[in-house]
Structure 1
Amino acid sequence: MAYFGKFYLDKEKDIIVTLDMHGDDLSYVITSPHHKTGNLITNLAKVCKLEISYDDYGYKIIKGDVPCFYDGDNEMVYILRFYNTKVANIYPDGRIERKAYVPAIAKTLMSQTKDYKLDIEKTLVKTYIRREVKFHSDLHTHRSANLSPDILIALAIHHQLRYPYYYIKKLQLNITPAQKALLENRRQIIARSFAHSQLKGKYLDRKIDDHTYLNFASLILENIEHASENIAKIRASLAVMKDGQAVFTNLEKVYIYRYVFTKGTSVLDPITLEHIDDIEDEDIVNTLKQMELDRLNPVYRYNTLYQDQLLFVARSYQKVGVTYAEISDTALVKASEAANTLAQIHEVMPAITKETGVTLRFLCAFRRIPLTIVKDQIGQNGFNENLQVLKAVANDPYVAGSDFVGEEMNDIRELSSVIQAIVAIAKDIPSFVIRFHAGENDSLPDNVLNSVLEVEKALAPGQFFPHVRLGHGLYTPALDSQKGKLLLEKLKDYRIALEFQITSNVRLNNLTELTHHPLKDYLRNDIRCVQGTDGGALYGTNSIDEQLSLERMLDLSFEEMKKMHDVEAAICHTAMQEFHEKMADFKKALGIKSVVTYYNERIDEQKHHVITLTPTSRNIEASVSLASKIKPLPLHKIPIVIVGGSFNNVNHQTELREDECHLLDELIDSVKKEDVFFVIGSSMSGYEKYLLDHAIGFEVYSFVPKMLTEKEAERIKKEDVGVRISIESSPLGVYKSFAFEIFKRRPSLLLALDGHSAASNMIQDAKNSQYKCWIVVDESVPSLVEKASSLEGYVTFWKPGDGVQGICEMLKRTIID
């Protein structure tokens, strides 16, 4: 039996179909080596009516034969079908034509449950879209998420970027003895430069490893023996997690891994790029060869890393028929980066558009909260710098407008003064787009309406309402409620467009039950709706896959797709018209100056413009106010996490029910103080407050946000709890600290009695845990049941009358283990 070829059933190369030929007989084997639970391949076999087998290592596989046919031209073709769906045409000369694929949404849901619910129509999708409704834009995407892992890997090899020792260790990459010796020698040198650092222990080790690097080209090309294995691990690190839905914390980590590739630094001692053809991945090899050809093109010969990224973003869009895209980029509101970034764009984009037919424009992106892992400082000075830079660059033809990005953990009204300043900038630029990420999760369902009202409030006398777009818009008050009707009225009156990107919603744990998606309701009410990808490469999708997912997963009709297509066409037509007008004005204003000089001068001119930002009541540092209550978690006891009060959305208060209170009473009576301790959130309300009042003698710990209101600080001081300080300033982000300090470090039990998106994130984080976490969910809470049902096989449902016996058995097993 001889190897014939392989192809993938998904964009991220997780579902591998390997083909072998024996004589004239063709067979296949399907594997999913990056999905450790086995759920993905088990559910795929179930939905396609295929048998599970096992390889020599005991891993689940699917195998079978591919029947051979003769077509009307007497040409032999092997046709692979799964449950009456044609998957591929395979020709004896080696050609493979894939006819269907598994969308990233289906793959994610298959990966995290032992009882997958979607049918074959939503799992194995044929790749055909009617010409009349084909989308040609990506109006919602992000700079660092646009390129596939394979292209990023090729860019890092070609530009010979520094790759930190920390990631080599973290991903457990295999390196040669010579590479190991080089790294250790460099590490010793770097360590000496941190001899007087205030950092200690693992924090110091991390800093040293971050500054110790290996040439990425050397890592791959001078270590070909392990190249395939290392590339697979690196590829996985550049996309959201594989075995289920992720939470925003996981997304932030992926962005940090991608940072090396998107904003990396080339080494000073490059190697000769040899053995490229020895890389087994055809896509990476072809991309590298294209980069070599580009260096023979005078237009691209001296491309920077960023310019090559723009080039391959445009080429990727060209392949899927996208001609216009708007990319959110935080660099364009940073005084240290904006001028140089725009100069690079102006230098290369005309040639890119000429080659590909794709126009890329940008939204200057404000972080609504700091990126957790980077811990940027954001506040009065940060927002003022952002606004000063925005005012300086807003007239640039490649700047389409502004955006508010980041996890939606704060009320948009907290940014009222920033919105007012942006609306003032838009007054003088009629084409300026103001986009809000709003309604992405259910914690702040009023954010969508309040975004519109804040812009309305900020209008100067006689000012027209600017071009406003709302990204996501999943969660709002019910559209038939008073607030919902007001929202629909405002959306219509101001011709506001809603942007939908279903794959990222599912993969980031913001949408599990697809029937709850509101898109059809908006279309029924004649609200302008368009599609984005949210940075499709990060989520294993692109604009075609996204459109197919919208059509199949939400059962959109041709007429509904046509409505979206027509709105998109109108937006793109206006945007391109405005682009050309702004370009003519820009060239006149630029004169003989360089783009860098022009914008640095404009940024300097704006530095004296300072606005007074809306003060926040969350101004007390928890680490200072609660210093006497801060304690480490006990290492010798099992944590029981109680969710029931602190993890609701802003419109919901937990009301105690007798059966749940009785459960807590039984639990307190059944466990020993020396075996367990309890962990709660910061609101100390609902069932968490009930536990505090009744768990006399037990250790109870509360995770609290980094910044508190005066009322919160006084309430926590009065309670008999140990305190752990979260890495987030908002109560809605406290869930992240449970993952960092409990789920990823030790066995535990999670008892979820009430909550919304933050509680769902807790449940998902517990399932994703590196250690066993027993998850118990109250089946009378619909918002939690929806999440728990998607994790069938990993969650135990509790209902009134069940008692505490099952929970105690879980604890007993954990204590024994």
Structure 2
Amino acid sequence: MTYFTCFFLDKEKDIIVNLYKDLDRMLYILKTPNHGTGNLIRNIAKTCHLELTKDENEMLVIKGEIPCFIDGNNKESYIFSLNDMEIASISPDGTVDVKATIPAIAKTLMSQTKDFDLPVGKTIFKTFIRREYKFRADLHTHMNGNLTGDVLIALGISHQIRYPLYYVKKLDLKLTDAQWTKALEQREKVARQFVSSGLQGKYLDRRIDDNTFINFADLILNNLDNAEDNIVKIRGSLAVIKDGQAVFTNLEKVYLYRYVFCKGVEHEDKISISNKVEMIPDEDVKNTLQQMLRDKENPVYSTNTIFQDKLLWIARGYKKQGTYYAEISDTTLVKKYESIEMLRQVHAVMPSIYQETGVMIRFLAAMRRIPLTIIKDAVTPENYLEQNLEVLKATALDPYVAGCDFVGEEINDIIELKPAFKEIVKIAANDPSFVIRVHAGENDSQKDNIAHSIACVKESLAKGQPMPKMRLGHGLYTYSLNSKKGKEALKELKENNVVLEFQITSNVRLNNLNSLDKHPLKQYLKQGIRCVQGTDGAALYGTDAIEEELSLEKMLGLSDAELKLMREAEATIIEEGQKAYSDKKAAFAKLIGDRDLEDVLLEKMQTVKIAGKKTKGEVLLDANAELKEQISEITWDRFPVVLLGGSFNTESRSTKLSKNATKQIDELMELLSPDEVCFVIGHKLSGYEKYLLDHNDKGFRIYSFVPAVITKREADKIKKSGVKVRVSTESQGMGIYKSFNYEIFERRPSIVVAFDGNSAATNLIQEAKNGKGKSAIFVWANSKNLMQKAKSLHGYVYSFDSDNKLVDTIKELQSTIEQK
């Protein structure tokens, strides 16, 4: 059999169908090379009733023959089908017409579990949408999450960006001997600059590697023997993890990989690239790069910066998907000088982009609800919100700026930021088109945030000021709409004409939605709430606007009438947005006059003073200073047992102890030896954590992870308990799960015993499952919240209760491991 061609069943190129031809016969081999667990291909085989075999590398594959059909015009085509559904038509000349795909949401759920149980109708989608119901806007997305890995790779080659040696090593990219020699020579020069830095060991190596750059175009084009493998690895680094759900930590890491391209800096040592583009083994990267080279010959785009090319390719992507209006969140618009340069570039290129594509792109100036901690050594000033608002007062005048947005992981109550809303509504008072958007209701840890977001705006209005345009991103979680609080939230949504934005794929891939039957969209539509769709940065999650709409329709069972309601709500927003742009464009031109844009905007940036965050009257303390006597690294001579049950609930929800559950803890402590095991808990020392502390008669060493900022009451409680302390880099209690991952799950084997918790607990469980150190995870069967997570991780989590005791399950697992 001779290799013929290939195609993919998903947008991330994870499910590849290789085609082979021998005379008139065509065979296929379906592989999932980027998924190491084998769950994805096993579940595809199970869902589609296909047989699994192994290839020469002992990897699971699906093999079969593709039948050939002749139509009424005597034209031959090979029809590839799964479960009697036509997936692709292959012409004898090698042209492949893909008619159905496996969406990112189904792929994630299949990768997550060893026992996938969704029907084929929610697993494989025909890519057709009725024209009158087709969504035409992307109203919830993020600047650096829009472009696919293939486009970013082409962009990196086209602009010959600097690519850090650290990522070459991290992704295990293959370089030629000449490239290694050149890179190591450069590294030696960089190392000299850090002789007096005070850094040592891995910290010094990381800093040097981060500042040693190779030309990305050289990496690919002068290394064509390894280009295919390198492109696959780089592409994989630009999307969230493959084998199951991710958590916010993973998303932040992906953004760091993307920043190399999205915020790229051109390398000083350029190479000639046009003569080698044809030899790039990936067709999509090659074709995209060829168009980028043609663009350089077009006077309209010939001087484009990386940012301007990014906008151009975002618009081209939207055009291909039938989307012609987008509002993109970007934190650059609240940074003083960066925002001015961004807007200057937008004004220079956007008219040409609109003329070519017909796509209008506008922006929401994004402010972080909590400081970003993933970037090492980045210092966020305490008054960062004041600085953001100072800049926003000016950038909000620009016609390309549609409004503002509060972004970031939802681990704090938005009411803490209420003082900032007082300044934002002043902007809206002068600009009735100004949109105030808040990320709210994305996870179940802050069920008041939908109501509190509306309250923050309403209670900040001047006397007689009408309610501004307001949208809430995600809107998944609030109190039951049948409860008193739920009905009140529903009333506020209706009366204030608030729009809810839904992004189902990112919700699933980021571990915020584990059960599709709990999705509230249909309820909101029934209650007359305006709802629209966004992608949340489609390329991060392996989706796009079309697949996202299909996922909403198929996964949630939306009717034509419900799709029409969403389409009508979207159409109104598009119309309002286009009018706002026209009105603001005229006003902005008058404001600028003959002056330079920078001078005018700097003049409009007015100092802002806002009250501090609401902390319920308690003084916040530095945990490192306050608890320094108890800080101690987790010992390596004891096996860590992480116990959840108290610290990972919201403030309004406390853990109620069950006698059956506490008995399990007693038996666990009886089974284990304090010389072999240590316990690790959260910072609240409540619920089952407190029970563990109060009944620690055998003297187990107990570590408590605490947020970087704590109250005096919390500090006193921790001091009195006598626990050993690990201080997280996160300032919010709901974010400390990241430190469990970094210090335990990514480094060493462990056990997780989970009795209770909200989203922070499910994130910790997911981190334990994803971690390199391998963790045995046990969940209390009577915890409704956690069992929903456990069911989505079938085969990776063990449940226990009074009938199936924890210690018996641990013994059984230990025996199985020893036998193996």
TM tier relative to shorter chain? over 0.9
Is residue 202 from structure 1 mapped to residue 202 from structure 2 by the alignment? yes
Report deviation, 1:705. Answer: 0.4
- Kept in 2, the 8 Å contact 1:533–1:546? The answer is yes
SS at match of 2:394: helix
- Kept in 2, the 8 Å contact 1:667–1:808? The answer is no
Q: What is residue 313 of structure 2 aligned with on the other side? A: 312
- Kept in 1, the 8 Å contact 2:800–2:809? The answer is no
Q: What is residue 433 of structure 1 aligned with on the other side? A: 435
| 1:370-769 → structure 2 map (5 Å cutoff) | 370-374=371-375, 376-378=378-380, 380-603=382-605, 606=606, 608-614=607-613, 616=615, 617=618, 619-696=620-697, 697-769=699-771
CA distance in 2: counterparts of 1:663 and 1:379, whole angstroms: 46
- Please give the per-residue CA displacement for 1:769-798, whole angstroms capped at 9, x wherever unaligned: 112211111111111111011111111110
Q: Which moved more, 1:214-223 or 1:478-487?
A: 478-487
Report deviation, 1:45. Answer: 0.7
- Kept in 1, the 8 Å contact 2:632–2:725? The answer is yes
Q: What is residue 214 of structure 1 aligned with on the other side? A: 214
CA distance in 1: counterparts of 2:442 and 2:814, whole angstroms: 35
- Kept in 2, the 8 Å contact 1:675–1:815? The answer is no
CA distance in 2: counterparts of 1:413 and 1:40, whole angstroms: 41
Report deviation, 1:618. Answer: 6.0
Residue 808 of structure 2 aligns with an amino acid whose one-letter code is Q
CA distance in 2: counterparts of 1:48 and 1:25, whole angstroms: 22
SS at match of 1:458: coil
Is residue 259 from structure 1 mapped to residue 259 from structure 2 by the alignment? yes
Q: Which moved more, 1:24-33 or 1:799-808?
A: 799-808
Report deviation, 1:597. Answer: 3.6
CA distance in 2: counterparts of 1:248 and 1:440, whole angstroms: 12
- The verdict on how the C-alpha distance between 1:811 and 1:594 changes in structure 2, with shifts beyond 3 A counting, is farther
CA distance in 2: counterparts of 1:609 and 1:728, whole angstroms: 26
Residue 504 of structure 1 aligns with an amino acid whose one-letter code is S
- Kept in 1, the 8 Å contact 2:415–2:614? The answer is no
| 1:221-232 → structure 2 map (5 Å cutoff) | 221-232=221-232
- Please give the per-residue CA displacement for 1:212-254, whole angstroms capped at 9, x wherever unaligned: 0100000000100000000000000000000000000000000
Report deviation, 1:810. Answer: 4.2
CA distance in 1: counterparts of 2:36 and 2:281, whole angstroms: 23
Report deviation, 1:812. Answer: 7.5
Q: What is residue 282 of structure 1 aligned with on the other side? A: 283
- Please give the per-residue CA displacement for 1:484-520, whole angstroms capped at 9, x wherever unaligned: 1111111111111000000000000000100000000
- Please give the per-residue CA displacement for 1:39-68, whole angstroms capped at 9, x wherever unaligned: 000000110111101100100001101101
Report deviation, 1:436. Answer: 0.2
Residue 638 of structure 1 aligns with an amino acid whose one-letter code is F
Number of equivalences: 814
Report deviation, 1:199. Answer: 2.5
Report deviation, 1:410. Answer: 0.8
Q: What is residue 325 of structure 1 aligned with on the other side? A: 326
Q: What is residue 182 of structure 1 aligned with on the other side? A: 182
| 1:80-119 → structure 2 map (5 Å cutoff) | 80-119=80-119
| 1:298-309 → structure 2 map (5 Å cutoff) | 298-309=299-310
SS at match of 1:575: helix
- Kept in 1, the 8 Å contact 2:744–2:773? The answer is no
Q: Could you tell me which of 772, 775, 783 is aligned with 1:781?
A: 783
- Kept in 1, the 8 Å contact 2:639–2:678? The answer is yes
Is residue 64 from structure 1 mapped to residue 67 from structure 2 by the alignment? no
CA distance in 2: counterparts of 1:333 and 1:712, whole angstroms: 34
Report deviation, 1:315. Answer: 0.1
- Please give the per-residue CA displacement for 1:369-416, whole angstroms capped at 9, x wherever unaligned: 122212654454211110000001111000000000000011101001
Report deviation, 1:356. Answer: 0.1
Q: What is residue 237 of structure 1 aligned with on the other side? A: 237
CA distance in 1: counterparts of 2:574 and 2:328, whole angstroms: 14
- Please give the per-residue CA displacement for 1:343-375, whole angstroms capped at 9, x wherever unaligned: 000000000001000000000000111222126
- The verdict on how the C-alpha distance between 1:497 and 1:618 changes in structure 2, with shifts beyond 3 A counting, is farther
Report deviation, 1:85. Answer: 0.8
| 1:150-169 → structure 2 map (5 Å cutoff) | 150-169=150-169
Residue 195 of structure 2 aligns with an amino acid whose one-letter code is A
CA distance in 1: counterparts of 2:634 and 2:7, whole angstroms: 49
SS at match of 2:517: helix
SS at match of 2:629: helix
- The verdict on how the C-alpha distance between 1:167 and 1:463 changes in structure 2, with shifts beyond 3 A counting, is same
CA distance in 2: counterparts of 1:813 and 1:710, whole angstroms: 47
Residue 423 of structure 2 aligns with an amino acid whose one-letter code is A
Give the TM-score, by structure 1 length.
0.98
Report deviation, 1:198. Answer: 3.0
- Kept in 2, the 8 Å contact 1:418–1:613? The answer is no
Report deviation, 1:809. Answer: 4.8
- Kept in 2, the 8 Å contact 1:749–1:811? The answer is no
CA distance in 2: counterparts of 1:815 and 1:688, whole angstroms: 30
Identity between Structure 1 and Structure 2 (%): 53
Report deviation, 1:96. Answer: 0.6
CA distance in 1: counterparts of 2:269 and 2:671, whole angstroms: 65
CA distance in 2: counterparts of 1:297 and 1:563, whole angstroms: 42
Task: Flag structure 2 segments of 5+ consecutive residues without an equivalent.
Answer: none
- Kept in 2, the 8 Å contact 1:659–1:801? The answer is no
CA distance in 1: counterparts of 2:619 and 2:818, whole angstroms: 39
CA distance in 2: counterparts of 1:573 and 1:698, whole angstroms: 64
- The verdict on how the C-alpha distance between 1:36 and 1:776 changes in structure 2, with shifts beyond 3 A counting, is same
CA distance in 2: counterparts of 1:30 and 1:230, whole angstroms: 21
Q: What is residue 794 of structure 2 aligned with on the other side? A: 792
CA distance in 1: counterparts of 2:530 and 2:339, whole angstroms: 32
Report deviation, 1:814. Answer: 7.9
CA RMSD in angstroms comes to 1.3
Q: What is residue 808 of structure 2 aligned with on the other side? A: 805
Residue 506 of structure 1 aligns with an amino acid whose one-letter code is V
Task: Flag structure 1 segments of 5+ consecutive residues without an equivalent.
Answer: none
- Kept in 2, the 8 Å contact 1:620–1:709? The answer is yes
SS at match of 1:629: coil
SS at match of 2:337: coil
Report deviation, 1:268. Answer: 1.1
- The verdict on how the C-alpha distance between 1:792 and 1:778 changes in structure 2, with shifts beyond 3 A counting, is same
Residue 805 of structure 1 aligns with an amino acid whose one-letter code is D
Report deviation, 1:805. Answer: 2.3
Residue 611 of structure 1 aligns with an amino acid whose one-letter code is I
Report deviation, 1:593. Answer: 2.6
- Kept in 1, the 8 Å contact 2:417–2:614? The answer is no
Report deviation, 1:693. Answer: 1.1
- Kept in 1, the 8 Å contact 2:141–2:538? The answer is yes
Residue 623 of structure 2 aligns with an amino acid whose one-letter code is A
Residue 663 of structure 1 aligns with an amino acid whose one-letter code is Q
Give the TM-score, by structure 2 length.
0.98
CA distance in 1: counterparts of 2:758 and 2:819, whole angstroms: 33
CA distance in 2: counterparts of 1:380 and 1:248, whole angstroms: 23
CA distance in 1: counterparts of 2:608 and 2:505, whole angstroms: 40
Report deviation, 1:746. Answer: 0.5
Residue 133 of structure 1 aligns with an amino acid whose one-letter code is Y
- Kept in 2, the 8 Å contact 1:680–1:700? The answer is yes
Residue 807 of structure 1 aligns with an amino acid whose one-letter code is I
- Please give the per-residue CA displacement for 1:578-637, whole angstroms capped at 9, x wherever unaligned: 11111111111111233334323433xx2x343333354462000000000000111011
